[in-house]
Amino acid sequence: MRQVKHLLESKGSSVHAIAPEQSVLSALQRMAELRIGALLVMRGTELLGVVSERDYARKVALQGRASSDTPVREIMSTPALTISPEESVEACMRLCTDGRVRHLPVVERGAVVGVISIGDLVKAVIDDQAVEIEHLQRYIAG
């Protein structure tokens, strides 16, 4: 099974973040612009949490709060569940399932080096299964 570092090599290690004092509206606009479902909440290089569309839905929209007046720090999920680049895809899937999260910041030696989503993990599993099926078909035919 592949490791997180292999996923980052293929998808890139872009990290999209927002400051904790920024408004939820700013976070939503940034997520829409980037076509992503979550942002890391960071103060400089320090990871404080993760803010997602789910956080918005549950902690702003359903509670009747104003997204323009609510700072990200009030709705972010914290502490963020993190993983290392050496973690296996399987272990990450388990962490996402058990922790009920969709985005995992990748941290190496205290620094954020990327983000892996549940979509990245599912794609990796599907790709690995396709390769294995191809090998098995060649073996059977061969």
The gap from C-alpha 126 to its chain's centroid, in whole angstroms, comes to 18
Q: What pLDDT, on the 0 to 100 scale, is given for residue 100?
A: 93
Residues composing the chain: 142
Range of the domain at 34: 4-141
- pLDDT digit string, tens, across residues 91-116: 999 999 999 999 999 999 999 999 99
pLDDT along the chain (142 residues), means of 10: 91 93 97 96 96 95 92 96 96 95 96 95 90 87 84
Cβ-in-10-Å burial (0-12, 13-18, 19+) of 17 comes to buried
Instruction: Give the total number of structural domains in the chain.
Output: 1
What's the CATH number where 26 sits?
3.10.580.10
Q: What pLDDT, on the 0 to 100 scale, is given for residue 123?
A: 92
Spell out the residues 6+ positions from residue 24 whose beta carbon is closer than 8 angstroms to its own: 51, 56, 60, 67, 68, 70, 71, 72, 75
Q: What pLDDT, on the 0 to 100 scale, is given for residue 131?
A: 84
Whether this model's pTM surpasses 0.85? yes
